[in-house]
Amino acid sequence: MKEAPLLLDKIHIRNLLVRCIIGIHDEERRDKQDVIINIKLHVNLRKAGKTDSLEDSVDYVKIKKDILALIEKSSFYLIEKLAEEIAQICLDDPKVHNVKVTVDKPGALRFASSAAVEIIRGKEDR
């Protein structure tokens, strides 16, 4: 009998607001802009739910700090590149099976609240 696939749980990091140099225009290369990041980590939280131990979960505080460190030194042209780098940081944690990253750039388009990209990456994309 074939075993049913394991359904993964999720950890969310919602609306992480950062300021960074991002864009292709001169003023975007000079002045920091707001970027909003949303992350969904797909993990198995069964053991953590039983043991109540951080060792059995994902340290999302560390992930957030690693993302902030990346952004502090970054000056990407595209939000696509920023999203990709964030996904790779998340996948560095061995407990993360896959990740969905959304990066919004408010004010990037006239008459729109933001422009955004959303990517999904897994261990096989490393």
Residue 52 tokens read as 């109540």
Alpha carbon of 86 to those of 5, 6, 59, 95, 101: distances in Å?
A: 27, 25, 15, 16, 7
Adjacency order of strands within the sheet including 114-122: 75-76, 9-22, 33-43, 96-106, 114-122
User: Of the residues 62, 65, 105, 123, which is catalytic?
Assistant: 105
Q: What are the angstrom distances between the C-alpha of 88 and each of 2, 13, 31, 53, 123?
A: 32, 15, 26, 25, 9
Q: Is-catalytic flag, 105?
A: yes
- Enzyme catalytic residues: 105
